[in-house]
Amino acid sequence: CLPENVNRQTFAWELFDAGNPNSTTLTLLRDLPKHKELAEISAVETMARRSDGSVFPVLFSLTTFPWHGELYFLATLIDISKRKKAEQSLQLINQELAQRVEERTQALRQAQEQLIESSKMAALGRMSSAITHELNQPLTGLRTLLTTNELLAERGETAMIKANNVLVQKLIYRMASMTSQL
């Protein structure tokens, strides 16, 4: 069972319903004494019909008051068409704003992903540059030692060639240890 004020508001809405053929203000006001359940209705949003047949939103309130031993009704209808249009405009603006926020959020996500990818590529570039430098150092040493060994072989200095070969092996081990850490 609904509270009495909800029943009154629902009944008032039914009387003003645009689909109700008897929903004119005059009909309602004329029949008010028959509807004591409408004694107090406050700020019910409903639809009303103008004399030209057009329908418009209203805020309906009804108050009863005794005067000189009789019961009188004060009905208030406030045209809220402008407010409803403003609400619709605000709702549309909010939807557009939500769409823009979603689009910007998506753009930021993409930019962030690109930034992360760029950072990875930059780090990879720095790392490959460092690796190249670290490998080129021993390779230069190997080239120098091999050229020196050729000259030493022509002179017959085998003891120096053996000493250089020990250095060649150390450089090869150093390069192997660098690549094993990758």
Report the interhelical angle of 158-180 vs 81-155 (nearest 10°): 160
More confident residue, 157 or 47: 157
Classify 96 as helix, strand or coil. helix
Q: In what order do the strands lie in the sheet with 55-67?
A: 40-49, 55-67, 70-79
What is the reported pLDDT for 97? Answer: 97
CA distance 87 to 48: 19
Cα–Cα distance measured from residue 16 to residue 135, given in angstroms and rounded to the nearest whole number = 90
Higher pLDDT, 30 or 64: 64
32 sits in which H/E element: none
Q: What is the pLDDT of residue 117?
A: 95
Using CA atoms, how far residue 163 sits from 36, 65, 140, 171, 179, in Å, is 120, 121, 17, 13, 25
Dihedrals phi, psi of 33, to nearest 5 degrees: -60, -25
pLDDT higher at 98 or 132: 98
pLDDT bin (cut points 50, 70, 90) of residue 135 is confident
Region 28-47: mean pLDDT is 68
Q: Which of 101, 102, 180 is nearest to 134 (CA)?
A: 180
Q: What is the DSSP letter of 34?
A: G
pTM across the whole model: 0.47
User: 89-120, pLDDT tens digit by residue?
Assistant: 999 999 999 999 999 999 999 999 999 999 99
CA distance 96 to 105: 14
Q: What is the pLDDT of residue 2?
A: 40
**Residue range 124-151: average pLDDT?**
90
